[in-house]
Amino acid sequence: MARAVTTQRKIVFTALAWIIGLAIFFPILWTILTSFKTEATAIADPPVFFNFDWTLENYRVVQERSDYMRYLWNSVALAVGSTLLGIIIAVPAAWSMAFVPAKRTKDILMWMLSTKMLPAVGVLYPIRLILINMGLLDSKTALIFILMMINLPIIIWMLYTYFREIPGEILEAARMDGATLKDEILYVLTPMAIPGIASTVLLNIILAWNEAFWTLTLTTVNAAPLTAFIASYSSPEGLFYAKLSAASTMAIAPILILGWFSQKQLVRGLTFGAVK
């Protein structure tokens, strides 16, 4: 009897979870489906779900019009570059905050987070003038730096909370064995922190990939990532749902796939110290 109740319960919960899951995923599914329709089918009433003539025409048109690979490469370079640079700067800082806490550590952390609250558009002119002066408009270097700075507080925070969960005794033991500070970080901490670092890296790649203000206003050609690619399909004259869907699918597919494959790693460290 008890077993039957659990199975029944399981069926109900499974059904509920799947319905909600599919509902949440539906907009993405619909976009992907639409990308294989003709413009006329895309707005057909009543809407068609699977029973239509699948076509790759939209992808062909989009590829012909814009060099997808160049945008993709720029997106990858910006997201990965800014994240790695951020990690290099953040690891030592987070380490020292976690293992040598001072009175002001928490204040410093909160101050770092607060720098993220400066509204980007308010400082657009200052940043642009500085970049022009340095000859760095439309350069990946400048954007990698800016995206790194935007996400640095989050990176530091995530690493900090992760490091804090590493028991201090291990470090002391290592120190007893004569490990130097460098050894401590390289051979003791880093291996233990790898899962935390991995999830930090993933989250920040996602955030950098999706950043759409600076990447749009400071680039033209050489550094323009997929956010600019999307902006050339958003609302042209004429019917555009199918082409927009194709471009959208192309823009989100890489990061979606990365996210799905690495979701275990992502989830593991995505606690911000909230779970003890």
Partner 1 sequence: MTRSLRALMGATALTAAGFAVAAQAETITIATVNNGDMIRMQGLTSHFTDMHPDIDVQWVTLEENVLRQNVTTDIATGGGQYDVITIGTYEAPIWGANDWLVSLDDLGDDYNIDDLLPAVRGGLTVDGHLYASPFYGESSMVMYRTDLMEAAGLEMPEAPTWDFIREAAAAMTDRDNEIYGICLRGKAGWGENMAFLTAMSNSFGARWFDMDWTPQFDQEAWANTLDFYLDLMTNYGPPGASNNGFNENLALFQTGHCGMWIDATVAASFVTNANDSEVADQVGFALAPDNGLGRRGNWLWAWNLAIPASSDAQEAAKTFIAWATSAAYTELVASEEGWANVPPGTRTSLYENQEYLDAAPFAEMTLRSMEAADPTNPSVDPVPYTGVQFVAIPEFAGLATEVGQLFSAALAGQMSAEDALSQAQELATEEMEAAGY
Partner 2 sequence: MATQHSRSAARLMMTPAVFLLLVWMLVPLIMTLWFSTLDYRPMRGTFDCCEGLANYTRFITSSAFLDSVITTLQLLGGVLLITIVGGILLAILLDQPIWGQGIVRILVIAPFFVMPTVSALVWKNMFMNPVNGLFAHLFKGLGLEPIDWLSQAPMFSIILIVSWQWLPFATLILLTAIQSLDSEQLEAAEMDGAGPLSRFGYITLPHLARSITVVVLIQTIFLLSIFAEIYVTTGGAFGTRTLTYLVYQRVIESQNVGLGSAGGIYAVILANLVALVLMRVVGKNLDA
Number of H-type helices and E-type strands within the chain: 14, 0
Least separation, in Å, of the C-beta of 222 and partner 2?
A: 21
Quick one: which of 252, 241, 268 has its CA closest to 48?
241
Q: Quickly list H helices, 49-67.
A: 57-65
Query: How far is 230 from 23, CA to CA, in rounded Å?
Result: 25
124 sits near partner 1 (criterion: CB under 8 A): yes
Written as one letter, the residue type at 12 is V
Site string for partner 2, 126-145 (x = CB under 8 A): xx-xx---------------
128 binds partner 1 (CB under 8 A): yes
Helices (H), the chain: 2-34, 39-42, 57-65, 68-99, 105-114, 124-134, 140-164, 168-176, 181-183, 190-210, 214-217, 226-231, 241-261, 263-269
Examine residue 96 and tell whether it contacts partner 2 (CB under 8 A).
yes
Q: Site for partner 2 (CB under 8 A): which residue of 78, 79, 131, 255?
A: 255
Stretch that binds partner 1, among 110-118, 141-149, 173-181, 217-225 (CB under 8 A): 217-225
DSSP structure class, residue 66 = S
Residues 200-239 touching partner 2, rule: CB under 8 A, are 206, 209-210, 212-213, 226-227, 230-231, 234
Q: How far is the CB of 195 from partner 1 (least distance, A)?
A: 39
265 binds partner 1 (CB under 8 A): no
Decide: is 46 part of the binding site for partner 1 (CB under 8 A): no
Among residues 4 and 181, whose Cβ is nearest to partner 2?
181
Per CB under 8 A, contacts with partner 1 among 23-42 are 39-40
Is 115 an interacting residue with respect to partner 1 (CB under 8 A)? no
The phi-psi region of residue 179 (left if phi > 0; otherwise alpha if psi is between -120 and 50; otherwise beta) is beta
| Distance separating the N- and C-terminal Cα atoms of the chain | 37
Cβ of residue 34: shortest distance to partner 1, in angstroms?
14
Task: Tell me which residues in 47-86 interact with partner 2 (CB under 8 A).
Answer: 47
| Cβ-count burial 231-255 (b if 16+ within 10 Å, e if not) | eebeeeeeebbbbbbbbbbbbbeeb
Binding site for partner 1 (CB under 8 A): 39-40, 43, 64-66, 124-125, 128-129, 132-133, 135, 137-138, 216-217, 220-221, 224, 228, 231-240
